[in-house]
Structure 1
């Protein structure tokens, strides 16, 4: 594989030279495995998802190329659970660690072995993966680990996000024939080239007042928690009865916690796959964007605030609003990538343009993989130096798994506690 970076990818590459741009997903699994099996699974899944083994080649002032040439398999670091300080500590260590983009690969893994159970921490440069990509790779890895012989042809393949159980190919690739590749997001956007009007739409989606940076010592802190099935079922029932989505309810709760008495600015992640043509399906890549919506944190009725948030989010999830968020980067092609990185760093140093980011993802993952059982999935992201809390919510098996990353430490943790109290106590 060898191709030019698209304009959107080029901006993320430039950002990564000056700012953190890493994401992670954690699978908590009941059952046994070995480091050798994990390394074999990573090598097999790389054959299906070549972006697991790429680097940036020929990094000139205006362009670079993604290539698999000379890139080793992603590394698998192995630690014992008793020595790790907890898998969340591993996430705190791994997220701030930059990738060597000229050497690659742009993904790495950590196995936290507890004997009868293990945690698999998967870390990616945002250039090659989004939340859906991380979920697909997680499923394919667990599918491969469920096999009795990692060197032989698979005999078990669970139901994937897009269909019923499938047999994998005889060459040993997990979860179906490979490789799975798709063009980058900006090449799959139908319609005209970038226009000046795209700048206006992007400014409206991402612009707004800059708030003061959150206090903190610069050290990344990661906290994770979950909501039990009974509470999750009750919450979803209330959302349906009130005519709101879970995402809108979450935004309303965090707005109350972050900015009581005034409108809060909530950053929302959007999956672009719905507006691309052809859709990239299960291909790895960055097929996501984000926008900011104002949410009234001072409304006495949380559900009224959630309904307003739902309307604002729904209005931004149209193709007409989402496509310019990626298409606009074509207008930066005349700038050297170092200049792009410097501009992004300068904007980040002024402070965040949102109070909190709330990303809600439903990963359609099986829980059973032969002798292995997936018991929890957590997400994580480190894409800001301002301290603004980045909250990720993952739905799996009728439960919610939540996490927050921030350099604001206890302030971010306190915000999450207040938000969950608002959310779960709303009648």
Structure 2
């Protein structure tokens, strides 16, 4: 495989030196062998072209995905499991550990092993995979651990932006002019703000908790009855919680939400690896007299309208004009505070089976990623085994651990209709 990185892939890649890793962990009850694990990894590597690549820059500094010959195997680091906390320590360590960016592969595994319980930590560079990609990889890998002789095939991926974006959009003169003007304006802006001091980052932290099965089911029913989405309810709860904890003068009243591109681009299949998403931003009304459910309904309407008006192909095409400013843009985001209170990533119901013939998946821990760029507040939600699972990632130079915990408590109180958090929420 050999192709240029698209703009957003290149933005995530950054300078190739600072790690931009995602870790994702499953806890397994049961046993499997090292041979079976390496066999599973070999098969998923053969299936997905992006698991064969490194990133190499040409003479102009443009990075390319390149498959070296021969392609290195996906590395596995095996450690003795000693406690339920080992996975978190190793995940945070792996977030800071660079890949061999030139030669790849840009995925590795850590196996915390004991006689009856294991954690498998998948570590992936964000430029080749998003959250949906990692769920796909886990589903395939666990299936192959259980059925080593299973054939999972291969697929061809796109090679250029022309393979992804329709010709009618690429050749649109009006859009081409818009792309050039946008790049020029951004270049001037970045020149104007150059020289600002970098943010002095503090300690990274993660607040993790789960909603129990009964509370999760009740929230799902409530959203169905009121004809709103879980996403709208969660966004509303966290925005209101930010306002409650930090005060109306210290919030932006805006949440940044990644949106899975596979919903809009048929060329990217559900089981293909891809490194980035499109996005939208959402806000709540500032009227303090509106109750929670009315806020959810209004935000849900805004969400539906924004999703129906997304122009994904145009966005990808216009972004390609921003390659010349990508480095300065990355530098600027190291100085900016951002226009959002948080990024909220809703992974939904994870398509990972719980029971296999020789083992069982006891838990799936939300991804961990530590990026020093603009606003570090990030909340990830997912559902596995009928339970909502949350992670709140931030840095104490931006938001204190105590504030994050208070935001968690207030958001859960809203979602649980005023019930105290310990009644339905397990802090982990």
Q: Aligning the two structures, in what range does the TM-score lie when normalised by the shorter sequence?
A: 0.7 to 0.9
User: How far, CA to CA, are the matches of 1:177 and 1:315 in structure 2?
Assistant: 38
Task: Give yes or no for the alignment of 1:65 onto 2:67.
Answer: no
Closer, same or farther: CA 227–283 of 1 in aligned 2, 3 Å: same
Partner of 1:208: none
Contact 1:273 1:281 in 2 (8 A): yes
Return the offset for 1:376: 2.3
1:230-269 aligned at under 5 Å gives the runs 230-260=214-244, 262=248, 264-269=253-258
1:351 is displaced (CA, Å) by 1.2
SS of residue in 2 equivalent to 1:368 = coil
1:197, distance to aligned residue in structure 2 (A): 5.0
TM-score norm. by structure 1 comes to 0.81
| Alignment partner, residue 404 of structure 2 | 412
Contact 1:23 1:380 survives alignment (8 Å): yes
In 1, distance between residues paired with 2:289 and 2:95?
36
1:22·1:96 contact (CA, 8 Å) conserved in 2? yes
The answer (yes or no) to whether the contact 2:2–2:66 under 8 Å persists in 1 is yes
Q: In 2, are the aligned partners of 1:22 and 1:123 still within 8 Å (CA)?
A: yes
Matching residue within 198, 209, 218 for 1:225: 209
The CA distance in 2 between the partners of 1:322 and 1:219, in whole Å, is 36
Relative to structure 1, the CA distance from residue 65 to residue 38 in structure 2 (aligned partners, 3 Å threshold; closer, same or farther) is same
Q: Is the 8 A contact 1:269 1:359 kept in 2?
A: yes
Aligned counterpart, 1:192: 169
Structure showing greater Rg? 2
Q: How many residue pairs are counted as aligned between the two chains?
A: 390
Aligned twin of 1:311: 301
Q: Which residue of 1 aligns with 2:391?
A: 403
Q: TM-score, normalised by structure 2?
A: 0.81
How far residue 55 of structure 1 moved from its aligned partner, in angstroms, is 0.2
Measure the CA separation in 2 of the matches of 1:280 and 1:386.
31
SS for the counterpart of 1:259 is helix
Residues 416 and 189 (structure 1), Cα distance of their counterparts in 2 relative to 1, 3 Å cut: farther
Superposed CA RMSD: 3.1
Do structure 1's residue 96 and structure 2's residue 96 form an aligned pair?
A: yes
1:253–1:423 Cα contact (<8 Å) kept: yes
In structure 2, distance between residues paired with 1:424 and 1:184: 47
Distance (whole Å) between structure 1 residues aligned to residue 340 and residue 156 of structure 2 = 35
Instruction: Give the match's secondary structure for 2:283.
Output: strand
Residue number in structure 2 paired with 1:356 = 342
Separation (CA, whole Å) in 2 of partners of 1:412 and 1:228:
20
The answer to which of 358-367 and 294-303 deviates more is 294-303
Q: CA deviation at 1:185?
A: 7.3
Is the CA contact 2:8–2:276 (under 8 Å) kept in the aligned structure 1?
Answer: no
Query: Which segments of 5 or more consecutive residues in structure 2 lack a partner in the other structure?
Result: 186-196, 420-428
2:101, 2:284 → 1: CA distance?
38
Summarize the alignment of residues 111-126 of structure 1 with structure 2, pairs less than 5 Å apart: 111-126=111-126
Structure 1 unpaired stretches of 5+: 155-167, 169-175, 204-212
Q: Which residue of 2 aligns with 1:157?
A: none
Measure the CA separation in 1 of the matches of 2:161 and 2:282: 23
Residue number in structure 1 paired with 2:291: 301
Structure-2 change in CA distance of 1:326 and 1:24 (3 Å): farther
Cα shift readout 1:275-299 (whole Å, capped 9, x = no counterpart): 1143433111125122322224745
Alignment correspondent of 1:163: none
Q: Give me the whole-angstrom Cα distance separating, in 1, the residues matched to 2:162 and 2:285.
A: 33
